[in-house]
Amino acid sequence: MTTQTTAEAETKTKPLTGAEILVRALVDQGVDTIFGYPGGAVLPIYDALFHEPKLRHVLVRHEQGATHAAEGYARSTGKPGVVLVTSGPGATNAITGIVDALMDSIPLVVITGQVATHLIGSDAFQEADTVGITRSCTKHNYLVKNVNDLARVVHEAFHIATSGRPGPVVIDIPKDVQFMPGPYIGPEEAKPLHTYNPRTKGDPTKIAEAIALLATAKRPVFYTGGGIINAGPAASQALRDLAHMVGAPVTSTLMGLGAFPAADDQWLGMLGMHGSFEANHVMHDCDVMVCLGARFDDRITGRLDAFSPGSKKIHVDIDPSSINKNVRVDIGIVGDAGSIITDMIAAWNEGGYKKPDLADWWAQIETWRARNGFAYRKDPNVIKPQYAIERLYELTKDRKTYISTEVGQHQMWAAQFYRFEEPNRWMTSGGLGTMGYGLPAAVGAQMAHPDALVIDIAGEASVQMTMQEFSTAVQFNLPIKIFIINNEWMGMVRQWQQLLHGERYSHSYSESLPDFVKLAEALGGVGIRATTPDELDAKIMEMIDSPRPVLFDCRVAKEENCFPMIPSGKAHNEMLLGDDGTDLDSAIDDEGKMLV
Amino acid sequence: MPPRVNEAIEKRTFAVLVDNEPGVLARVVGLFSARGYNIESLTVAETDTANHASRITIVTSGTPLILEQIRAQLDRMVSIRTVQDVSSDPLGIERELSLIKVRGTGEQRAEALRLADIFRAKVIDTTHESFVFELTGASSKIDKFLGLMEPLGLVEMSRTGVLSLTRGID
């Protein structure tokens, strides 16, 4: 101990309350923003926040919004997102965002209030068994019954949320513990109860094996995922170096977009159910697949027994349970993607490997590229949704832009037509597929990047799920842009009903839609509507130039489908395309219909 | 992962050392139910008070890939310190304790007692027409004994599930 700050000296004389310990611990963890909503069981914490200028509190309108906003903050900064909600309904409303963060490996620390310890189990007012409910949807959770444990638990929670495979951690704090005086210990002195030290360095023998395999490949591919984004910007840079060294094509999952620049010649676009024609064919026909920080999700693999049948597979993942979970791999390497890619580059150089001749492979890839799987028919009178996103991209690409999405067709079109050159610029709900994610995620991203252009590419159905967070944006002067691809349908549901359920459009029409322009104005923002392709550019510019939050009602073609599509139960080389005249009714067999 | 041909279901015993804290058993059991794994038996008790450690012994079954997955899923839980595969360890020992009530009179009763003696079961309660036996051993031995008691008036039983340890000094 070299120096002692005044704050520390004060602590010695006057013990802090639990609430003050929590706030101090958050400050010491480098937290600057909290997304939350007050209530009875967190009043002491809110009282402590009242005296703490270092923590900005963003008052959301619903606790689900707080968790998604924290996810947007985390995804766009690489730092953990922090949520503060009350007991009972506060905690249960936050559950969707917590599960979302678990599925997409987003670091969150969620603090929930709880009824006083002596009331736990008595069905007290606003009591819910928060640790019981969140046990299966958090990376770890705590009920802190003793104020002496509180500081340690908070520091440990940040360590667990951010190390290894990131994820949400819940800390449930009973109200009496918030009032109780107790000791504060800093992050350095806190002795963790749990020895949680996941492996980050990859096994050198396996890395050498992987490199030797890669060097002999005739048709290699890099299949990358959100793990690269989570490993930090250096990992994205290392991926670029490795890919250029080997000369192999690169594709990515939805979560990994931006890790490899879309402008690069080696970029194939996203793979999977609505991935690019070339990416899916490359995955099917490759001879060596290098999976970096992705998890062979069912949206990626399609039919498992026909997934990339002729390839040797190398899988790099920080989570040992991801390896061999869905797809059996030949070389599994556990560790941090950034560290392992760097070691792979070193192993390549040490081994004196030369860039392989992949001319034949690239010639094949060019024929797939030439097929232009994302092609759609333009219409001079109606805005096609793809066209709307293409124009949005063209008019925003030279700015510092962050894109979030809701879930459905617009999300897939955004992934297909918006091009990302850098990591942390893209926030979407991949694993859980949470409609309503994008608007609050934009709030979180804009809090972290006040000068950036933050756009939620939304659907008119999804956006209504967390619409009220637009008020939050108004309150905090966050000029987020909600770009609604409004086709008056739950588009992806409608598409599946068309393909799988005999065009019986059961409850998927967006009835009684609000007038989004008037709604924006009523909420204190700006409403803009575009109905024809001619006026689209000018309207988008008006949106970008507005210093206020904007709801943009982009009226698009109503029954456009999202292609390419790997139908359920089919393989990568059995994609449906929008323009090849396939009989869509019979494209999916009965077995495929069982799958989601 | 879809099961493949030639992939037989195997039984496996895992010894899991966990932090002794509230909810830790629920975490482990929740993992098994959430992911659809089998639990054939499970025992838990605090085994190292000074280090706040409890030991959970789980008998489960699945294909080799599922078993590998169960182990990896357990291993990554924050509250779990170590996971040991006892059944694949040549030094692994597995034992189970059972209490078995048998009701009968005359020759059946005498036969039950003779068999109990062969199996080294202890009589811990008796009436003129019943015994409660205590039997310790491998699960297969207990199964065998129960099979023999069945026609002799087996009434009910209680089993602890498997406990395990490894032989040797470590």
CATH number at residue A412: 3.40.50.970
Asked if A129 reaches chain B (Cβ–Cβ under 8 Å), the answer is no
Q: How many domains does chain A have?
A: 3
Whether residue A593 is contained in a domain is answered as no
- The range of the structural domain enclosing residue A336 comes to 204-370
Rounded Cα–Cα distance for residues B2 and B4 (Å):
6
Q: Does A507 share its domain with A466? A: yes
Span A417-431, pLDDT tens digits: 999 999 999 999 999
Whether residue A154 is contained in a domain is answered as yes
Q: Which residues of A238-259 are buried (b: 16+ CB within 10 A; e: fewer)?
A: bbbebbebbbbbbbbbbbbbbb
Higher-pLDDT residue of A79, A195: A79
- Whether residue A152 has pLDDT greater than 70: yes
Quick one: pLDDT at residue A530? 98
Q: Which residues of A201-227 are buried (b: 16+ CB within 10 A; e: fewer)?
A: ebbeebbbbbbebbbebebbbbbbbbb
Contact A320 B75 (CB under 8 A): yes
Residue type, A196: Y
Rounded Cα–Cα distance for residues A453 and A118 (Å):
49
Inter-residue contact A514 to A585 (CB < 8 Å): no
Q: Give the number of other Cβ atoms within 10 Å of residue A43's Cβ.
A: 16
A342 alpha-carbon distance from chain centroid = 24
Confidence of residue A2 (pLDDT cuts 50, 70, 90): very low
Whether residue A341 is contained in a domain is answered as yes
Contact B1 A325 (CB under 8 A): yes
Inter-residue contact B14 to B83 (CB < 8 Å): yes
Quick one: pLDDT at residue A190? 84
Whether residue A188 is contained in a domain is answered as no
Contact B78 A194 (CB under 8 A): yes
Mean pLDDT of the residues in chain A = 95
Span A554-572, pLDDT tens digits: 999 999 999 999 988 899 9
Rounded Cα–Cα distance for residues A486 and A131 (Å):
39
Q: Does A62 share its domain with A163? A: yes
Rounded Cα–Cα distance for residues A43 and A34 (Å):
15
Rounded Cα–Cα distance for residues A260 and A246 (Å):
14
Q: Does A365 share its domain with A390? A: no
Verify whether residue A492 is a known catalytic residue.
yes
Q: Does A358 share its domain with A390? A: no
Report strand pairing: B154-159 vs B92-103: antiparallel
Whether residue A64 is contained in a domain is answered as yes
Q: Looking at beta carbons, which residues of chain A come within 8 Å of B1?
A: 304, 324-328
- Whether residue A85 has pLDDT greater than 50: yes
Q: Does A550 share its domain with A415? A: yes
Distance from the A296 Cα atom to the nearest Cα atom in chain B, whole angstroms: 11
Q: Sign of torsion, CA B54 B57 B63 B68?
A: positive
Confidence of residue B1 (pLDDT cuts 50, 70, 90): very low
Rounded Cα–Cα distance for residues A184 and A21 (Å):
6
Quick one: pLDDT at residue B3? 47
Inter-residue contact A587 to A502 (CB < 8 Å): no
- Whether residue B170 has pLDDT greater than 90: no
Residue B111's H or E segment, with its range, is helix B106-118
Q: Nearest chain A residue to B69 by CA: give it.
A: A321
Higher-pLDDT residue of A122, A9: A122
Q: Map residue B132 onto helix, strand or coil.
A: strand
Confidence of residue A589 (pLDDT cuts 50, 70, 90): confident
Mean pLDDT within A293-311: 94
Whether residue A391 is contained in a domain is answered as yes
Mean pLDDT within A89-112: 98
Confidence of residue A581 (pLDDT cuts 50, 70, 90): low
Mean pLDDT within A384-406: 98
Span A453-503, pLDDT tens digits: 999 999 999 999 999 999 999 999 999 999 999 999 999 999 999 998 999
Q: Does A480 share its domain with A541? A: yes
Residue type, A469: E
Quick one: pLDDT at residue B4? 54
Residue type, A309: P
B3 alpha-carbon distance from chain centroid = 26
Inter-residue contact A282 to A368 (CB < 8 Å): yes
Which of A137, A197, A321, A333 best tests the B interface by mutation, with the highest count of B CBs <10 A?
Answer: A321
Q: What is the SS3 assignment for A374-440?
A: CCCCCCCCCECHHHHHHHHHHHHCCCCEEEEECCCHHHHHHHHHCCCCCCCCEECCCCCCCCCCHHH
Rounded Cα–Cα distance for residues A431 and A99 (Å):
9
Q: Does A100 share its domain with A228? A: no
Cα A182 to Cα A19, A179, A548, A552, B157, distances in angstroms: 10, 9, 44, 51, 50
Quick one: pLDDT at residue A1? 40
- Whether residue B115 has pLDDT greater than 50: yes
DSSP track, A234-298: HHHHHHHHHHHHHT--EEE-GGGTTSS-TTSTTEEEE-STT--HHHHHHHHH-SEEEEES----H
Q: Does A317 share its domain with A393? A: no
Most trustworthy range by pLDDT among A69-73, B84-88, B165-169 = A69-73
- Whether residue A580 has pLDDT greater than 70: no
Q: Map residue A481 onto helix, strand or coil.
A: strand
- Whether residue A3 has pLDDT greater than 90: no
Q: Does A66 share its domain with A153? A: yes
Considering only CB atoms, B30 lies closest to which of A135, A165, A325, namely: A135
Q: Does A159 share its domain with A305? A: no
- Whether residue A305 has pLDDT greater than 70: yes
Q: Sign of torsion, CA A90 A94 A95 A96?
A: positive
Contact A193 B19 (CB under 8 A): yes
Rounded Cα–Cα distance for residues A480 and A551 (Å):
9
Q: Does A73 share its domain with A14? A: yes
Rounded Cα–Cα distance for residues A535 and A521 (Å):
21
Asked if B106 reaches chain A (Cβ–Cβ under 8 Å), the answer is no
Confidence of residue A584 (pLDDT cuts 50, 70, 90): low
Contact A194 B72 (CB under 8 A): no
Going along chain B from its start, the domains and CATH numbers come out as: 10-85 (3.30.70.260), 92-166 (3.30.70.1150)
For chain B, give the percent of residues with pLDDT over 90.
93
- DSSP state for residue A464 in the 8-state scheme: G
Whether residue A562 is contained in a domain is answered as no
Rounded Cα–Cα distance for residues A569 and A456 (Å):
31
Considering only CB atoms, B23 lies closest to which of A135, A195, A304, namely: A135
Interface predicted TM-score (ipTM): 0.90
Residue type, A142: Y
Write down the catalytic residue from A79, A175, A481, A539: A175
Q: Does A218 share its domain with A300? A: yes
Whether residue A544 is contained in a domain is answered as yes
- Whether residue A209 has pLDDT greater than 80: yes
Residue B120 class from Cβ within 10 Å (0-12 exposed, 13-18 middle, 19+ buried)?
A: exposed
Distance from the B68 Cα atom to the nearest Cα atom in chain A, whole angstroms: 8
- Whether residue A14 has pLDDT greater than 90: no
